[in-house]
């Protein structure tokens, strides 16, 4: 049995930027263990699998270690594959996911994802978080799915060298460190050793909390963002009530085929 595989760079204008994701179109669901094995073998921060439905697609995301509830860059990647490799003519895609219905639409040379905004709450763990991040000075500490660490120096984010073992002991899915940007509205880096991803170059789902935070702080609804350390990607975000539109480009990199044994139980 062969499964098509597309590897693309999300939130990138050309290859070797942004965040790489694998995308595997399926006709029907395979066993969950096999999906996880494929994601582990791909060894990218996310592998997206989707199956057609009557109203659109059922979409799932796997890191090398676990299935996750929401992933922005792999959603962008899956939509790009459906539009550009599979020839979908619709202007808007409907994805059924563990986080509910997600919409992705064409927006010029970008794709726009419509995600629910996340609410941040204060977190009283300044000492533990600062230690895990190398003893940095924290301006504000918040949490939703991820711990959000606000610092007052964008250059500090560039030099971060977190202790991954300490990060694993903190609550939440991952930890994102953010600051006001210079040539963008804000910058960030995201670390998720608990889900098998030490650093994710561009984490679309993290911007469902970052964009509302910076929109309120900067007094603007349309924002530009850059995420990453050695490898970076760019996003544009629009906050509309309890929704966040996250936009980006996708650069194709690799088309291939996965060869599997003929015997494969359905999930």
Segment-wise mean pLDDT, segments of 10 residues, the chain, 267 residues: 96 95 97 97 97 97 95 96 96 95 94 94 97 96 97 94 97 97 97 93 95 98 96 95 96 96 60
Task: Evaluate whether 17 touches 73 at the Cβ level (below 8 Å).
Answer: no
Q: Show the CA angle centred on residue 1, arms to residues 67 and 68, nearest 5°.
A: 5
Every domain of the chain with CATH number 3.10.310.10 lies at 2-109+249-259, 121-241
17 is an active site residue: no
Of 159, 149, 160, 161, residue with least CA distance to 186: 149
Active-site pick, 17, 27, 41, 46: 46
The pTM assigned to this predicted structure is: 0.88
Tell me the C-alpha distance between 224 and 237, whole Å: 6
Which CATH number fits the domain 2-109+249-259, given the four candidates 3.40.50.300, 3.40.710.10, 3.10.310.10, 3.40.50.2300? 3.10.310.10
Burial of residue 263 (number of CB atoms within 10 Å: 0-12, 13-18, 19+) = exposed
DSSP, collapsed to helix, strand or coil, labels residue 197 as strand
Range 121-241 classified under CATH 3.10.310.10:
yes
Task: Evaluate whether 264 touches 34 at the Cβ level (below 8 Å).
Answer: yes
What does the pLDDT read at residue 261?
Answer: 80
Position of tokens 């993290």?
206
What would you report as the CA-atom Rg of the chain, rounded to the nearest whole angstrom? 18
What does the pLDDT read at residue 262?
Answer: 74
């Amino acid at each position: 049995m062969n499964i098509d595989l597309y590897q693309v760079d999300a939130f990138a204008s050309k290859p070797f930027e942004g965040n790489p994701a694998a995308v595997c179109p399926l006709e029907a669901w395979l066993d969950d263990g096999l999906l996880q094995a494929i994601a582990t073998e791909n060894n990218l921060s996310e592998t997206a699998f989707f199956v057609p439905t009557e109203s659109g697609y059922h979409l799932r995301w796997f890191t090398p270690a676990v299935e996750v509830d929401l992933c922005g860059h792999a959603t962008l990647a899956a939509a790009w594959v459906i539009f550009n490799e599979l020839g979908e003519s619709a202007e808007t895609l409907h994805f059924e996911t563990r986080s509910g219905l997600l919409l992705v639409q064409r927006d010029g040379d970008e794709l726009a994802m419509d995600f629910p905004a996340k609410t941040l709450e204060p977190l009283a763990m300044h000492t533990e978080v600062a230690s895990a991040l190398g003893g940095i000075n924290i301006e504000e500490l918040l949490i939703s799915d991820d711990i959000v660490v606000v610092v007052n120096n964008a250059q500090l984010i560039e030099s971060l060298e977190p202790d991954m073992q300490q990060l694993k002991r903190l609550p939440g899915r991952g930890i994102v460190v953010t600051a006001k940007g210079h040539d963008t509205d804000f910058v960030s880096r995201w670390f998720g050793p608990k889900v098998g991803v030490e650093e994710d170059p561009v984490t679309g789902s993290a911007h469902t909390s970052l964009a509302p935070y910076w929109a309120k702080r900067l007094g603007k609804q349309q924002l530009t963002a850059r995420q990453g350390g050695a490898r970076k990607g760019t996003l544009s975000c629009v906050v509309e009530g309890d929704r966040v539109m996250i936009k980006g480009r996708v650069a194709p990199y690799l088309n291939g085929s996965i060869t599997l044994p003929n015997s494969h139980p359905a999930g």
